[in-house]
Structures are given as structure tokens and as C-alpha cells.
Amino acid sequence: MLGDPSGLPTDRALLSQPPKAGLSCKMVLQAVGKVLRKSKAKPNGKKPAAEEKKMYLEPEYARSRITDVGFKELVVLPREIDLNEWLASNTTTFFHHVNLQYSTISEFCTGEACQTMAVCNTQYYWYDERGKKVKCTAPQYVDFVMSSVQKLVTDEDVFPTKYGREFPSSFEALVKKICKYLFHVLAHIYWSHFKETLALELHGHLNTLYAHFILFAREFNLLDPKETAVMDDLTEVLCSPTPRNVGASGDWEGPGCGFSPRASRESRSCQQSDFSPVRPSPWPPELKRTICVLRRLR
């Protein structure tokens, strides 16, 4: 603000006085213009993007799940099962599920709409094989992630599918690296594409996948808490205890039942051969109208 107008001189004699030495009309105008520009730059009451209400935290959406299975118990390492086999089986499954979830909104995640791989105030950069930081758009980053992870999970020396082959000594470190990348993709979907996910009625799938993934990562310390802090509010909501979903025999329903190392390797081998690219297949007819509406809104 420039001050109280009532305090400005109104006497003609004062107004008719010549300006003080050293001050020109040009300098006065520049000073006034600078003040006005600053006043325009001040916040107009609108919250910054990071403080805007997060739709994915609204109870009606956060409650949505595709199952009420208690994932906290489901992620625990089964007795007599090798830890690396358990990590390999679940990591491969999470990779395919995250890839599938992203493919549903990949048509909206463009270089123009998502110029950086950002979540809240955090921006992610890709590092190439020489460790050089690469600034890229969100779709480029996700493509890098999916290509890199696919290369790892299909490498027989890293994720062996033949019974009897050993895992490398660096296997756990590689799994942590994969989980970090997958978390980035999930966080970006929530932060930048939850409206599209909601319009496609896939938020229940996304919530279920996120809760399962986070609880699994917590169980085996696969994610640095500092890495996941950006989504702590969502994690607190989605990872709270949920009712058990048990079958008639009292056993857990869902993945993990009847697990064996041999079955795990056979399953991972099939998943590798069935892997599809990140880009989705043509949209089902029933979703075309929703897609058209979303495109008009963007």
C-alpha cells in the first residue's frame, strides 16, 4: 500500500513547490511503479498449490477400497519361506500393478500437462547410468522407471525364475531402489491425476494398491521415511486398521495363500512374459464418454 490518502498534501502551495534536488519526475514514477508491482504480486488470499485441499483425503474417497483384507497381516513373511523369494514375488506383483494403474491415466499425463515429475513441493529427477541428473517431464520419468524396473525383474541374474538359482548379494538394495521408484509413480498419480482416477472410478483400486504397497514396504524397511513423508497424510488415512476379510474356513482370502518358492518363480516367469508397455490399450467403449468430458475440462 502507498499509505493513507488523507495524509497526502493538498495545499496548492505545497504542490507547486519544485521537487527536491536529485529527484526527477522519472525517478518518482519508477518508485511508484515499483511499489504498485509489489502490491500486485502479494497473495490475493488464494492458497498456494501445496496448501490447497487434497481431494484424495476426503473421507468419501479415502474410504473406497476393492477389498477389506487386513494387509498388515497379509504382508508378513510366511513361515518357512525364504525372504528373498517373498520380496521378489511381491515386488514383481507391485511393479505390474503400479504399471497398470498408471496406464489408466497415462493419456492425461503429458509433457505439456506435467512438465516436471512433481509431488507437492518435491520434484524428482532421473539419474542415468553414469549418475548424471536428468531433468525430465513426468511421463518421461515414468517411462524411465518402468523400463529400468522391467529390465531388473526380467534379468535372470537378479530375479531368478528357475528353481535352485541364487539371488545376488545386492538383491535387497535393488528391491529398495525399485520400491522408491514405484512410490514416486503412485504419489504422482495421487497428486496430479486423482481427478481423472476418480472420474474413471478407479480410486478404490488406487487406494488398495497404495495401502498394500506401503504396508509391505514398512514391514521390510524398503522405503526411507524421509522419502515417503510427502504423502504421510494419505498414508495415515489409508493404512489405519481395517476389518478382516476371511473365508468360510477362517483363512485369509487373497494373494499370499498357498505360497511356495517354486510357485512364486513360476508365477514371476509368467508375469515377465505377459508384461505390457506403460501405454494403455484403446479405452473401453463405456469409458470413452468420460474421457471426452475430461479432455474438455482440461
Which CATH number goes with the domain that contains 284? 1.20.140.30
Helix (H) or strand (E) holding 271: helix 261-273
Write down the pLDDT at residue 5.
44
Residue 46 within any structural domain of the chain: no
Using a 10 angstrom Cβ sphere, with 0-12 exposed, 13-18 middle and 19 or more buried, the burial of residue 89 is buried
DSSP 8-state secondary structure symbol assigned to residue 278: S
Determine which of 24-28, 44-48, 197-201 has the lowest per-residue pLDDT on average: 44-48
Residue 37 within any structural domain of the chain: no
Determine which of 179-193, 255-269, 271-285 has the lowest per-residue pLDDT on average: 271-285
All cell numbers assigned to 48? 498456494
b (16+ CB within 10 A) / e for 4-31: eeeeeeeeeeeeeeeeeeeeeeeeeeee
Residue 25 within any structural domain of the chain: no
Determine which of 33-47, 64-78, 277-291 has the lowest per-residue pLDDT on average: 33-47
* Structural domain for 208, as ranges: 55-297
CA-nearest of 214, 205, 219 to 182 is: 214
Using a 10 angstrom Cβ sphere, with 0-12 exposed, 13-18 middle and 19 or more buried, the burial of residue 214 is buried
Residue 283 within any structural domain of the chain: yes
DSSP 8-state secondary structure symbol assigned to residue 284: P
Write down the pLDDT at residue 263.
54
All cell numbers assigned to 36? 504498485
pTM equals: 0.68
Q: Which residues are annotated as a binding site for Zn(2+)?
A: 109, 114, 188, 193
Residue 15 within any structural domain of the chain: no
Task: Please report which residue ranges of 58-202 form alpha helices under DSSP H.
Answer: 59-62, 71-74, 83-103, 138-153, 171-199
Mean pLDDT calculated for residue range 230-234: 92
Give the three-class secondary structure for 82. coil
pLDDT at 244 over 50: no
pLDDT at 283 over 80: no
- Return all residues near 145 (Cβ < 8 A) that are at least 6 apart: 181, 182, 184, 185
Write down the pLDDT at residue 179.
97
Label residue 274 by pLDDT band (50, 70, 90): low
Residue 113 within any structural domain of the chain: yes
**Is the distance from CB of 137 to CB of 117 less than 8 angstroms?**
yes
pLDDT at 29 over 80: no
Residue 18 within any structural domain of the chain: no
Give the separation between CA 97 and CA 185, rounded to whole angstroms.
11
Mean pLDDT calculated for residue range 76-87: 93
Write down the pLDDT at residue 121.
85
pLDDT at 276 over 60: no
How far out from the chain centre does Cα 56 lie? 12
Q: Which residues are annotated as a binding site?
A: 109, 114, 188, 193
- Note the pLDDT tens digit of each residue in 174-218: 999 999 999 999 999 999 999 999 999 999 999 999 999 999 999
pLDDT at 3 over 70: no
Write down the pLDDT at residue 163.
82
Q: How many domains does the chain have?
A: 1
Mean pLDDT calculated for residue range 47-68: 76
Write down the pLDDT at residue 131.
83
Write down the pLDDT at residue 54.
86
Write down the pLDDT at residue 67.
85
Residue 212 within any structural domain of the chain: yes
Phi/psi for 118 (5° steps) reads -120, 145
